[in-house]
Structure 1
Amino acid sequence: MNKVASPTSAGRWITGRVTRESARVRLIGLPQAGGGAGAFRSWRRHLPEWLELAPVELPGRGTREAEPLPERFEDLIEALLAGTRAERDMPYALFGHSFGGVLAYELALRAETAPLCLIVSASRAPHLPAERRMSAAAEPELLRWLTETGGLPPELLEFPDFLRQLLPPIRRDMAFAEDYLVAEPTPVACPLYAFAGADDRVVTAEQVAGWSGCTTAAFRRTVFPGGHSFPSTGPAALVAAVADAVGATR
């Protein structure tokens, strides 16, 4: 039987954990720019019994809305590494979508124990520069771009007060993602699976393929139907692919 933990019992960094008595692997999920643990809500009913889902809630959004946004990317990574240390007390895997892919990669490199695998989704390889910078765009331009690329449901445009709360973490995360660039990636010591959207206008399938040089173990790229938000538009297929990737390492 699945049990969704409350934000209080789940802890500060994990919200909406799906716990299972038979779980043998924990999947730590890292959301897209501006996103929170709620990005993984649609996954719950598709998870296999052996896989526990631990969605990360980053500062400045969701249940942590009152907390300040990290000023530097390094500050965020160090806090994330310490804040999720207890989650790595059993075999675990990392999944990150878009900006979450960068966070997952850095966690895989820095964690005391390596994950079973790293899964990056709609995230450009770390040695490829951003082709377009939108984090500092004027609000109308940014909102138009977000809605056109699937980063923001169009119906939210009718709630300007809510948008004012959403945009600061979106801009901060986007700036971190746009600035993230390494001359030569350090390979992770685990299998790496890269997911791409066939019609993604933010991160192309070719940019995702660049992750092939970022592991000393197996690499596989999978292209899904849809744009940048393909994990939320096709959660059943996405979770099945995640379970297949993690299951191959057990």
Structure 2
Amino acid sequence: MSGLTSVARPLPRPDATRMLIGLSYAGGGTAPLRPWARALPADTELVLICYPGRERRFTEPMPADFADLVADVVTAVRAVARLPYVLAGHSMGALVAFETAVRLADTAEAPTALVVSGHHAPPYLRFTGDTGPVARHADAELLAWIREYGTLPEEILADEDLAQVVLSAFRADLALHGTYRYKPGTTVNIPVQALIGAQDPVTLAGARRWQEMTTGDFRVDELPGAHFYTPEVWQQLPRHMAAVTGANLA
């Protein structure tokens, strides 16, 4: 299942003249990004891509290879890109967004700008767990990371059965993330903005390396909070996206 069946529109705007297409993080669905709809200008519609294995696609198997996930997202974006759009992804979603933009480059469905949030630039990934969790970590380690940096309510994490569901999806996505391999020299030719939390383990220096990934304009912005910012910043994150607000991207 792909294409329009992968698409969620939390706040449909038939008269919109542009879109923000959002991609979620490891273990996440479209639900955590839905509040962004009310942070957008009236002329911009939020469109979210649902990965296989969650929400309405819960019965579908998660791809075993990162390239397969990107191919799924590319199909969905092609199906919905009827207007100019900004492509934005957080954490693992930033990496998916970058590779999606690469595959859509120089096509009619290419994004006008790319926003990458909370993730290292592709050439600097090591998958060692030194700046974030990896699939080989024990349950207790992953839960500790989610508690410190995640957005899940404590009541979910405190419920053993619910916590196991969360960990299962999270671990599967981390394993998928670990299959990613950057092709040296790959860049995009559109403006790129990197967002990073002040206490994110990725660090501001890590976020700045995204400048190497584009031949277009680049800017980086540090925001309050850790990997998921503060709750207030997270819900209003599009207001920090220069290509959405019209701020200078250079």
TM-score, normalisation: structure 2: 0.87
- In structure 2, give the amino acid aligned to 1:92: Y
- In structure 1, give the amino acid aligned to 2:140: P
The more displaced of 100-109 and 135-144 is 135-144
The one of 226, 234, 246 aligned to 2:244: 246
The one of 40, 45, 51 aligned to 2:44: 51
Check the 8 A contact 2:36/2:236 in 1, yes or no: no
The one of 66, 73, 79 aligned to 1:80: 73
Kindly tell me the number of residue pairs found equivalent between the two proteins.
Answer: 239
The one of 103, 117, 123 aligned to 1:121: 117
Match of 1:26 in 2: 19
The more displaced of 131-140 and 79-88 is 131-140
The more displaced of 87-96 and 157-166 is 157-166
The one of 90, 96, 104 aligned to 2:83: 90
Q: Give the drift of 1:151.
A: 5.1
Q: Give the drift of 1:166.
A: 2.1
The more displaced of 126-135 and 220-229 is 126-135
Structure 1: segments with no counterpart, 5+ residues = 1-9
Structure 2: segments with no counterpart, 5+ residues = none
Pair 1:42 & 2:15 matched: no
Residues in 2 aligned to 1:16 and 1:232: alpha-carbon distance in whole angstroms: 22
Residues in 2 aligned to 1:63 and 1:232: alpha-carbon distance in whole angstroms: 25
Instruction: Deviation per CA, 1:91-125: give whole Å up to 9, x if none.
Output: 11100000000010011010133211000000110
Pair 1:213 & 2:212 matched: yes
Residues in 1 aligned to 2:204 and 2:153: alpha-carbon distance in whole angstroms: 23
Match of 1:187 in 2: 187
Check the 8 A contact 1:42/1:232 in 2, yes or no: no
Residues in 2 aligned to 1:179 and 1:70: alpha-carbon distance in whole angstroms: 11
Check the 8 A contact 2:239/2:245 in 1, yes or no: no
The one of 50, 58, 67 aligned to 1:65: 58
Q: Give the drift of 1:167.
A: 2.0
Residues in 1 aligned to 2:12 and 2:194: alpha-carbon distance in whole angstroms: 26
Output the aligned Cα RMSD.
Answer: 2.2
Q: Give the drift of 1:73.
A: 1.1
Q: 3-state DSSP class of the match of 2:14? A: coil
Q: Give the drift of 1:33.
A: 0.5
Residues in 2 aligned to 1:185 and 1:175: alpha-carbon distance in whole angstroms: 25
Q: Give the drift of 1:180.
A: 3.0
Q: Give the drift of 1:139.
A: 1.2
Instruction: Deviation per CA, 1:134-171: give whole Å up to 9, x if none.
Output: 21211122111221222543321222222222222211
The more displaced of 119-128 and 158-167 is 158-167
The more displaced of 35-44 and 149-158 is 149-158
Instruction: Deviation per CA, 1:187-223: give whole Å up to 9, x if none.
Output: 111100000101112x211111110011111000010
Instruction: Deviation per CA, 1:30-66: give whole Å up to 9, x if none.
Output: 0011111112122122211011100111111122222
Instruction: Deviation per CA, 1:217-250: give whole Å up to 9, x if none.
Output: 10000100100011744146522122x323549x
Residues in 2 aligned to 1:115 and 1:183: alpha-carbon distance in whole angstroms: 20
Pair 1:14 & 2:7 matched: yes
